[in-house]
Structure 1
Amino acid sequence: MLNTITISQVFVPDQDAALDFYVGKLGFEVQTDMQFGPMRFLTVALPTDPGHAVLLERPGPPGYSEEIAAQVRDLISKGAAGGHLFFSTDDAHKTHAELRERGVEIPEEPVVQPYGIDFGFRDPFGNHVRVAQLTPPPSV
């Protein structure tokens, strides 16, 4: 049976800019950066969760023709390419403040939800990012 997720993926049109954002602003670390045939295989992971990497994939060959890749890049820029990353934190307000200090544009403040406190933003490419301080489930 399946055991765990090891790699998630988001599309990014510029992998160097993605490194600047995910490593420089969000605190990820580079896990893999190698030329893999016609593509650059670039993964990053949080230092606290090295078993789950995020593939920062530039749409293009071999997965897509250049024509389709251009359409995917256009959809990414509109936030319509389906890229979503969900993170947990112990303190949503503190994390929100730290990310803003690092230059992350966050259009919303942390909001109390039935499941905890969360806020969202987009990466520079249009992918959705949500951060939540989850409320522990009630004891039975």
Structure 2
Amino acid sequence: MTQSINVAGIYVRDQDEALAFYVGKLGFLVHTDVQNGNYRWLTVQHPDQPSFQLGLFKPGPPVHDAATAQTLNEMVAKGAMPPLVLTVDNCRAAYDRLLARGVEFTQPPMDRYGKVDAGFRDPSGNGWKMIEASAKREAQ
């Protein structure tokens, strides 16, 4: 049996704001944007990874009651959710490009653990680590 994960979701406080960030600033593409009553299924995908979608989901009915939705929104805003990781070829160049697009970084590029990484947050507070991919080893 073949299995794969094709959608992973994050919670956002405002789907339109999140869509503008992920598409307009990070360069993701809209995959699905459908409304079903009060529920909106919104997914984006990185142009270099078309088989995977990132869901931008707003806590609330019909999935969550009001109290749970409020708690989730507060946790995201405080940065309490696990960070997401974006792998890039050149962290410093990606930092400059995204900074010019208005992405607010929490950590500039730093050399750590043999790699270069930087940190930023989306408008809802979700943390991201941007990590430079290791150079591929030549075949021996």
Residue of structure 2 in register with 1:30 after alignment: 30
Residue of structure 1 in register with 2:83 after alignment: 84
User: What are the ranges of 5 or more consecutive residues in structure 2 without an aligned counterpart?
Assistant: none
**Pair 1:10–1:83, CA change in 2 (3 A):** farther
SS in 1 for 2:107: coil
* CA distances 1:46-81 after superposition (whole Å, capped 9, x unpaired): 11111111000000112210121112112211111x
User: What are the ranges of 5 or more consecutive residues in structure 1 without an aligned counterpart?
Assistant: none
- Within 5 A, what are the aligned runs for 1:50-89? 50-80=50-80, 82-89=81-88
Kindly indicate whether the alpha-carbon contact (under 8 Å) linking 1:10 and 1:83 is maintained by their aligned counterparts in 2: no
SS in 1 for 2:94: helix
| TM-score normalised to structure 1 length | 0.90
Moved over 4 A (4+): 137-140
Structure 1 CA distance for aligned equivalents of residues 36 and 89 of structure 2? 37
Structure 2 CA distance for aligned equivalents of residues 27 and 138 of structure 1? 28
Residue of structure 2 in register with 1:21 after alignment: 21
* CA distances 1:91-127 after superposition (whole Å, capped 9, x unpaired): 1110000000000011322111224211111111110
Residue of structure 1 in register with 2:107 after alignment: 108
User: How many residues align structurally?
Assistant: 139
> What is the root-mean-square deviation of aligned Cα atoms in Å?
1.8
- 66-75 vs 17-26, greater mean Cα deviation: 66-75
